[in-house]
Structure 1
Amino acid sequence: MSLRLIKRLSRDWFLLGMLGAVGLALLFPDFGKSGGAMHADVVTNVGIFLVFFLHGLGMPTAQLKAGALQWRLHVLVQSFTFLVFPALWVVLNLTVGRWVSPEVSLGFLFLCAVPSTISSSVAMTGVARGNVAGAIFDASLSSLLGIVLTPLIVGLLAQTTGARLSMGEAILKLSALLLLPLALGQLARPLLGATFARHRKYTNGIDRLFILVLVYASFCDSVASGIFGLHGGATLALVLGGAALILVIVLTLSTQAARRLGFNKEDEIAAVFCGSKKTLASGVPMARLLFGAHPALGLIVLPLMFYHQLQLLVCSVLAERYAARPPSP
C-alpha cells in the first residue's frame, strides 16, 4: 500500500506545482504582488470567474436530482462542514490560541469555514463503493452554501483573531465572482456539457493551473510584505500538525456519527468523505476575495493547503480500505 501511495504522490503534478508556485513567489514576489507587473487583481478575478464557470458546467444536474432526497445524509454532511468544523476551531482557539499568531489562527478559521470539495469527495466515494449520487449532491450543495456561509462564519468569528471582515461586501463579492459563473455554467450545460465531459482531463488542468496562479499571487503579497521573515520552520510545523489534528478529529467524529445514526456503509462513506474534506479549488479564490491584498494572505491559505494534501493522502488509504470490504448481500 505504501508503495502505491508513493507512486500516486509522484504523479501528482498539482502538489509539485504548488511547491513551485510558492518557490516562485519567494524568488519573484514583486512581479505577482498586488499592483505588480502581473496585474494580479485582474488576472485572479478572471481566473476565479473561469474556474467557477467550469465548476458549473461540470455539475451533473441529473445526478444532483437523484441524490437530493437523502436528507439525513445531507444534514449530517452540511452540519459537519459548517457547524462542527467552526466549533472545533473555537475549542482549539480557546485552548491553544494564545500560542498561535493571529495570522495563523485566522488561517485555521478560514480552513474550518470553507465548503467541502467536489471532485475528490465524489471520486473517493466512488473508489470506496459508496453513495456517489449522495456525494455529488452534498459536495455541490456545500459549494453553493459556502458562498454565503463562509464569509458569515469568518466574519462572526474573525474578531477573536483581531481581524475584521465586512460580511455584506464579502457576500456580494462572492456572489458576483462565484455564484454568477456557477449559474452561467449550469445554463451552458445543454450546449457545452457533452464537450466538457469529453475533454474533462484538459478542463481539470485549466482549473488547477489557475489555482496555482492564485497560490503564487497570494504568496507574493506575503513575501513582499516580509511576513514570512517573521515566521520560521516552527510555524510550518505548527500549521502541519494543526491541520493533521483537525483531520483526524473530523474523520473520527464523522465516522462515529454516521454509525450512531444507523447509516448503511454506502451512506457512511459519503458522509465521511464529504463531511471531512475542504476545498482548495474554491478556498483559494474565496481567500483572495475575502482578504484581498492582506499582507499575511500566504499564511492565511497555508493551513488549507496543508489540509488539502493531508486529506488526499489519508482519504486515499481509507477509500482503498472501504473498497476491500466484501460485497453487500
Structure 2
Amino acid sequence: MLKLLALDRFTILLMVMVVLASIVPVSGQAAYYFGILTTVAIAILFFLHGAKLSREAVVQGIMHWKLHALVFALTFAVFPILGLMAKPILEPMLGRELYWGFLFMCFLPSTVQSSIAFTSVAKGNVASAVCSASFSNIIGMFITPILVSIFILGQLKHDFDPTASIIQITLLLFVPFVLGQILRPWVFPKMQKIPSLVKAFDQGSILMVVYGAFSGAVVAGLWKVVSFNTLMLLILACSVLLTVIMLLALYIPKWMGFNKEDQIAIFFCGSKKTLASGVPMAQILFIGQPLGMIVLPIMIFHQIQLMVCGVIANYWSKQAEVKEKE
C-alpha cells in the first residue's frame, strides 16, 4: 500500500514531524537553541550538496543552453505567473497566509536529487538534468528573495529590502555549496564510503527545519486556523497547479523540437519545486510571519509531485525498454 502511494520513509517521517510538533512543540528558550542547531545543520547540508555535484557533469550539461533556458522559464516565470493568476480564487478560499505559502512555493527553484533521479529512471538526459537542476537552485537563492519582496512582503512592508535576505541566504546556502565544490576532491570520496549516513543527515536536516517551523506555527495556533476543508482545498490547488505545469513541461519541449531524452529532463526539472531549499529560505524571508502556514503548501506539493513523477518515470522507463528490444 505504501509503495502504491509512493510514500517512502522520508515522507512518513515528514508527517511524523508535523504530528510531533502538534503534540510536543518546541518553544521558548529551547526553540532558540534548536533554531541555532538547525541553521548549522542546513549549512552542512548545502556543503554536502556542493561536494556531491560532479564538475564533469556540469561541463557536459552546461553547453545545452536552450534546455536550461526553458527550464529556467518554467521555474521562475511560468510557475510565478500561474500563482499570481490564481490569487482571486485562492486567497478568499485559503486565506492570506496560506496563499502566501502557495505563491512562495511558485517562486522556489527546482529540486536537485529527485529531478536527477527521475530523469535517470526515465532514460532521459541525466547530464543536462544535473546541470539544470543545480543551476536552478543556485540562481534561486537570489531570484526567490526578490520575487518574495516584490509580490508578498512588498505589500506588507513597503520598506522591505531583499538585499539583507539575499546576503543571509548566500551565507547559509550558497557559500557552503561553493565550499563543498572546492573541497569535492577530498570530501566526496569519503561521502561515498558512508552513503547511508550522508542520506540520513540530508533528510534529518530537513526534518529538523520542518519540526521547528511547525512547532512555532502550532504555538501560534496553526490548527485553529487551518480547518480540514481548507486543507483539502489546498491539496486540490496544489494538484491542479502540478497538472497544468506538467502539461506545459510536456508539450512545449515537443513543440520546440527537443529530442526525447531532453524532453524528459525538461519535464522533471521544470515541473517540480524544492522542499530542501524552500524551508530554510522561508525561515529567513518570513521572520515574524506564520511560518508553518507558509511552508505547508510546499510540503503538500512536494509529496504530490513525488507520487506523480514516480509513476510517470516508471512508465517512460518501460516504454524505453520496449523500444530497445524492438
Instruction: Give the TM-score range, shorter chain.
Output: over 0.9
Per-residue CA deviations over 1:239-290 (Å, capped at 9, x if unaligned) read 1111111110100011111111011110000000000011111111111121
- Worse overlay, 88-97 or 247-256: 88-97
Report the alpha carbon displacement of residue 200 of structure 1 after superposing the two structures with TM: 2.5
Matches within 5 A, 1:277-316: 277-294=272-289, 296-316=290-310
Count of matched residue positions in the alignment of Structure 1 and Structure 2: 322
Matches within 5 A, 1:1-329: 5-6=3-4, 8-9=6-7, 12-29=8-25, 32-33=26-27, 35-36=29-30, 39-159=33-153, 162=156, 165-294=160-289, 296-325=290-319, 326-327=322-323
User: Take 2:189 and 2:174, find their aligned partners in 1: how far apart are those partners?
Assistant: 22
Q: Look up the equivalent residue of 2:177 and give its one-letter code.
A: L
Report the alpha carbon displacement of residue 111 of structure 1 after superposing the two structures with TM: 0.6
> Counterpart of 2:207 in 1: which secondary structure?
helix
Q: Is the alpha carbon distance of 1:305 and 1:256 closer, same or farther for their aligned partners in structure 2, counting shifts above 3 Å? A: same
> Counterpart of 1:67 in 2: which secondary structure?
helix
> Counterpart of 1:179 in 2: which secondary structure?
helix
Q: Look up the equivalent residue of 1:308 and give its one-letter code.
A: H
Normalised to the residue count of structure 2, the TM-score between the two structures is 0.94
Normalised to the residue count of structure 1, the TM-score between the two structures is 0.93
Q: Is the alpha carbon distance of 1:115 and 1:103 closer, same or farther for their aligned partners in structure 2, counting shifts above 3 Å? A: same
User: Take 1:149 and 1:158, find their aligned partners in 2: how far apart are those partners?
Assistant: 14
Q: Look up the equivalent residue of 1:14 and give its one-letter code.
A: F
> Counterpart of 1:327 in 2: which secondary structure?
helix
1:51, 1:210 within 8 Å by CA — same for their partners in 2?
yes
> Counterpart of 1:278 in 2: which secondary structure?
coil
1:68, 1:134 within 8 Å by CA — same for their partners in 2?
yes
Q: Matched residues, percent identical?
A: 36
1:132, 1:270 within 8 Å by CA — same for their partners in 2?
yes
User: Take 1:90 and 1:317, find their aligned partners in 2: how far apart are those partners?
Assistant: 29
- Name structure 1 gaps, 5 residues minimum: none
User: Take 2:163 and 2:154, find their aligned partners in 1: how far apart are those partners?
Assistant: 19
Q: Following TM superposition, where does structure 1 have runs of at least 4 consecutive aligned residues deviating by more than 4 angstroms?
A: 159-165
User: Take 1:23 and 1:109, find their aligned partners in 2: how far apart are those partners?
Assistant: 25
Per-residue CA deviations over 1:32-77 (Å, capped at 9, x if unaligned) read 2364356132112111111111111111111111101111110000
User: Take 2:157 and 2:317, find their aligned partners in 1: how far apart are those partners?
Assistant: 44
User: Take 2:5 and 2:302, find their aligned partners in 1: how far apart are those partners?
Assistant: 18
Report the alpha carbon displacement of residue 227 of structure 1 after superposing the two structures with TM: 3.0
